[in-house]
Amino acid sequence: MSQHQTSDTDEASEAFDSPTVINEAVKGPDDAAESQATLSAEIADIESQYKQNLAAGQKPEAQPRLDYRPYRSSILRHPTKDPRHTDPETIELFSPAFGHRDIGTLESDLTIQADGEPIGERIRVTGRVLDGDGRPVRNQLVEIWQANSAGRYIHKRDQHPAPIDPNFTGVGRTLTGPNGEYSFTTIKPGPYPWKNHHNAWRPAHIHFSLFGSEFTQRMITQMYFPGDPLFALDPIYQSITDQKARDRLVATYDHNITEHEFLMGYNWDIVLTGANRTWMEEEDDD
């Protein structure tokens, strides 16, 4: 199981029961909760040190730091020993297998899964899955999951006071085409609170999974939207210390994808290998 599946569950479990307005009025702010200022100072210190390292000739870091302290809950659960490669179980090499018949073409449109239209800003996210040499990766299973426009997941642990949209599940999947292309029509997700620290909010994002040709090849990452004011404050986004690597997780607004009187368009290519690869969440060793 990928680490992200764990972290996302935790993310959702951390999603919200932070101090309410009523609690703050009665008891004052929660003294036990660390402030954004505390976290932002830690983020700034690490950023400063990283830039010094770069100036001193250290190679850019393409991957997030597993022991990135501002992301509090990751400290106790990230691997502390070097991962070891193990041979996959036979079952992992042969199943599950996906074919065109397993995936309906309508599954890439998250706005038509219910009887009514979901609320929010309709968008299309499209791009290509490429290898390190720019070659298309065809027939690749691409899955996404995301919060609704109010920032709420359908998850029993996500109980923060934002509405669930009965017409939006937030999950979709598709296969890449002959040129590695994929396309999802969905609703722009809202930012949501989580319990890393007091008043912690995640930038709006869509989770992406690429399945590979075998179960053991699965890779998971997150796509963000350009210009999000929460980037600087978010320990998960900031755990990728290199700005260029961060930038590769941010989609580009593309007016050619935008449709007249219908939706806004974003482009986001996913590069699996090489120097410009899209950052992927590390997998557990088990």
Please tell me which residue in 202, 218, 248, 277 is annotated as part of the active site: 202
Please tell me which residue in 71, 192, 224, 237 is annotated as part of the active site: 192
Is 207 in the active site? yes
Please tell me which residue in 124, 128, 197, 207 is annotated as part of the active site: 207
Longest dimension (CA), the chain: 60
> Virtual CA dihedral for 74, 76, 81, 86, nearest 10 degrees?
-70
Is 192 in the active site? yes
Would you say 55 and 178 are in contact if contact means Cβ atoms under 8 Å apart?
no
Please tell me which residue in 205, 218, 248, 277 is annotated as part of the active site: 205
What gap in Å lies between CA 42 and CA 45, rounded to an integer? 5
Would you say 150 and 162 are in contact if contact means Cβ atoms under 8 Å apart?
yes
What gap in Å lies between CA 127 and CA 144, rounded to an integer? 13
Is 155 in the active site? no
Please tell me which residue in 68, 124, 152, 153 is annotated as part of the active site: 153
Would you say 206 and 186 are in contact if contact means Cβ atoms under 8 Å apart?
yes
First to last CA, the chain: 7
Catalytic site positions: 153, 192, 202, 205, 207
